Amino acid sequence: MTDSYAVIGNPVEHSLSPGIHAAFARQTGEDIAYEKITAPRDGFESVARRFFAAGGRGLNVTVPFKLDAYEFADRLTERARAAGAVNTLALQSDGGILGDNTDGAGLVADIRNNLGWPIAGARVLMVGAGGAARGAMLPLLEQGPAQVHIANRTAIRAERLAREFARHGVLSGGGFDNLDSLQGTFDLVINASAASLSGELPPLPGALIGPASHAYDMVYGAQPTPFMSWAAERGAKTADGLGMLVGQAAESFMLWRGVKPETAPVLQELRARLQAQ
C-alpha cells in the first residue's frame, strides 16, 4: 500500500520537495506518494487534520505554518522545542503526531558531509536572529564550535537568542553596528537573514572574513547570492543553501520511513537543473 505524504504551505507551488522525496523513494525502494497542499493562511489546523484523518503519514511544513505546526503537534523532539517551530509532522504508531525541526540538521549535514567544512572548534558568525537562525542553533552547537556570535539588525534579538542557548556553548550577540569591535576573522559565517531573498547584502565589515574563511548562505539559486559574492571577493569558500534543503528533506524521510537516503546524487541533479534554467 502506498503511503501518503505532502508539503503544506502558502504559497507552495514553487516547492522542490515533491521531486526530492520522489528521488529518495526511487533510491530506497520506498512506496510513497508525495503532493503539494496549499492551505488558507488561517486554515492550517483544519487542513492538516483532514490530511491525517484521510490516512496521511507525514507532512513537511513551510512558510507561513511552522509555528502553527508547532502548536498542532502532540509531542515535540528536542530540536523542535529548541527551535520553537516545526517543519516536519509524523504520524506515530499510537495515533499521535510528532513535531520535528530538521532544518538545522540539514544545514550541519551539508556543511560537514557535502562541503567538508569544519564546525568543531570553529569561530562562527551567525547573521540574523530570526526563525532560520533559531532552527539551526542547537544542531550547530552540538558540533562543538569554539564560539558563536549572533549578529542582527536589532541587537536585542541577537542578545536574547544568545542567552537562550547559552547552556549549549559559548555564545554572544549584538547588532551589526558593533561588528567592527570583534577581533579577527571568523572560520565560518552563516547568513540566516532574509537579505538575499531581496538581493541585498547584510552590512558586514570586510575584516570579518578572509581566505581561510567559509561562507554559507541559507538561500539558494542559480547564481551566487550577494552575500556569497561579497565573501568570494575576500577569498572565502562559499556555498548556498540547496544542500541544506536536500539535507533537511533527508532527515524528514528518515523520520517517516526509518531509512536515510543518500543526498549527494539528488543535490547534483537539482544543481544541474537550477543552472540550466
CATH number corresponding to 3-101+243-276: 3.40.50.10860
Map grid coordinates 572560520 to a residue: 187
Binding residues: 15-17, 62, 78, 87, 103, 128-132, 152-157, 218, 220, 241, 248
pLDDT in tens, the chain (277 residues): 899 999 999 999 999 999 999 999 999 999 999 999 999 999 999 999 999 999 999 999 999 999 999 999 999 999 999 999 999 999 999 999 999 999 999 999 999 999 999 999 999 999 999 999 999 999 999 999 999 999 999 999 999 999 999 999 999 999 999 998 888 999 999 999 999 988 999 999 999 999 999 999 999 999 999 999 999 999 999 999 999 999 999 999 999 999 999 999 999 999 998 888 7
- Spans of all domains in the chain: 3-101+243-276, 104-240
Angstrom distance (rounded) from CA 175 to CA 180: 10
Containing 273, the helix (H) or strand (E) segment is: helix 264-276
SS3 sequence of 147-187: EEEEEECCHHHHHHHHHHCHHHCCEEEEEHHHHHHCCCCCC
Residues taking part in catalysis: 66
Ramachandran region of residue 3, left (φ > 0), alpha (ψ -120 to 50) or beta?
beta
| pTM score | 0.95
Q: Do domains 3-101+243-276 and 104-240 have the same CATH topology?
A: yes
Q: Decide: helix, strand or coil at residue 75.
A: strand
CATH class assigned to 104-240 = alpha beta
